[in-house]
Chain A
Amino acid sequence: MSATLALGRRSLTEAIRQPDALFMTFFIPIFFLIVNTGQAAELFPSSSTDFLEGQGYGAFQLPITLLLAASFGMAALFLVEEIEGGYFDKLRAMPIPRYAMVMGRLIAEGVKCVTIASLIVLIALPFGITIASGLFGFVLLVGLTALWGVVYAGFMQLIALKTRSAAATNSGGLIFFPLLFLTPNFVPRDMLTEPMEVAATFNPVTYLMEAMRSLILDDLDWEKILPGFGVVAVLGVIMLVLNVRMIKRYD
């Protein structure tokens, strides 16, 4: 555990010392929140749009903003840089548990996502967005965002470990588009066209988004919240098993 924490602390320092990367992780999602809300808010006035539960359209858009912020996978890009530079081999030649080499970065990614998600929500509050499920809901919302960030970074790490190439890892990040956009990100699932609804139903991120949206727009509605946590739990276990297996077989 101490190796995991030591490597986690190092990864956090790494992120802090690359402020331009942190800035983009924060700035791009906020930009999309403003643009998407600005474009569609008039179509969906809060007074006559049932699915907004009395809030503005920005509240409906907040989950995609948070998911976007958590889906940059910077941890994987730092990892591939380390593989290319030789430091990864230096770590592999040390008597540290292989899982620590995976978990250290992911813990740091989790802490980073908690910070960024909290900041985004806090920035959103003065613009009339409220977390209807209260303080506990806020904690769940930030936690769910961070867990997704960890899972996503973990899958990106798999690409980094497999390809050992920055270009390939970057390209792997393109998976982010279908995952985040084949979802009910502009309207609820039952308002999507049929093909889109089918795609969204098969996309696990949909359940995550709906859980987050529920935390923002409703009181604690566990029927909507639990599937979101279920998705990150299942994907998280798969991601961890694959990462540890990959790093143990790394030759």
Chain B
Amino acid sequence: MNERAGPAILAEGLVKHYAGREGTVEAVRGVDLEVSADEVFGFLGPNGAGKSTTVRMLTTLLTITSGRAEVAGVDVGADPDATRRKIGVALQEAGLDPRQTGRELLVLHGRLFGLSAQAATKRAQVLLELVEIEDAADRVTKGYSGGMKRRLDLAAALVHEPPVLFLDEPTTGLDPASRLTVWDELRRINAEGTTIFLTTQYLEEADQLCDRIAIIDDGLIVREGTPARLKADLRARRGGDQPVTLDEVFLDATGRTRARAAGEVQEVTA
């Protein structure tokens, strides 16, 4: 699917400032990223570190204060519409229209991406079967469970078969079974050649799914590499043979103790 020569996602000195009540908030302070085509890239960080802000800039939902970004070879700031054709987006909240049925929603999205009515209907059916909600396809989404909403949201992001998929905490709030279903789905989508950029709070999820990860803290990337590499680096720094988990890498990278990570949450929102 990916025939591009360059990286699927490229960010250079990405900065986002907000005007807050107490002056300017520097949500992202110069993020550099390079994600290869066909990779599953995990983007981790504590609450308020700048994960969602970065995703929202890369997906054209937020303007970039300074720096530049390219997605699927398209300059995000210069040509947001072309960028939108190349990406699928599933944000933190499974953003669905509560008064549409699952099928109607997927057909509408197909139409909005330029498919004919017939093609959109066919594509909707394929996706409904793929995410296993065809039984509920003709019910309004208001009555869907959290897992069904997430899966439908994922299907909606795939309607136009985008080369790059952005998922902002796709499994937050799901029960373990639903989470495993979403993981399987992501592996399958990635195997078909889609680059996946994934933010998550669950380090096990990143460990299981991601080829590489980056950890952002206070608006800056503080670690980047494969999960195995990052764990090996920390083990080497500590010395000894004790195995290191990704949780420990995360805590080390963000300078947080377990207690502080659990108790200190500061959210920065758009």
Chain A positions within 8 Å of B, measured between CB atoms, are 2-3, 6-7, 10, 13-14, 17-18, 81-82, 85-96, 251
Contact = CB atoms under 8 A, between A and B. Distances in A.
Interface stretch (B60-68, B199-207, B210-218): B60-68
B104 A13 contact: yes
Cβ-closest 7 pairs across A and B: A86-B95, A86-B93, A95-B84, A90-B95, A87-B95, A93-B89, A17-B99
A88 B95 contact: yes
22 contacts: A10-B97, A13-B99, A13-B104, A17-B99, A18-B99, A82-B97, A85-B95, A85-B96, A86-B91, A89-B95, A90-B91, A90-B95, A92-B60, A93-B59, A93-B61, A93-B89, A94-B84, A94-B109, A95-B81, A95-B85, A95-B112, A96-B112
A86 B112 CA distance: 17
B112 A94 contact: yes
B60 A93 contact: yes
Nearest to B56: A89
B130 interface: no
A95 B95 contact: no
Given A6-B108, A251-B62, A85 B98 contact: yes
B89 A90 contact: yes
A2 to B, nearest CB: 7
A85 B92 CA distance: 10
Interface string B71-105: 00000000001101101010111111111100010
A3 B61 CA distance: 19
B97 to A, nearest CB: 5
Given A13-B104, A95-B81, A86 B92 contact: yes
B253 interface: no
Interface centre among A6, A7, A81 (most CB of B within 10 A): A6
Contacts of A90: 89, 91, 95-96, 153, 156
B270 A10 contact: no
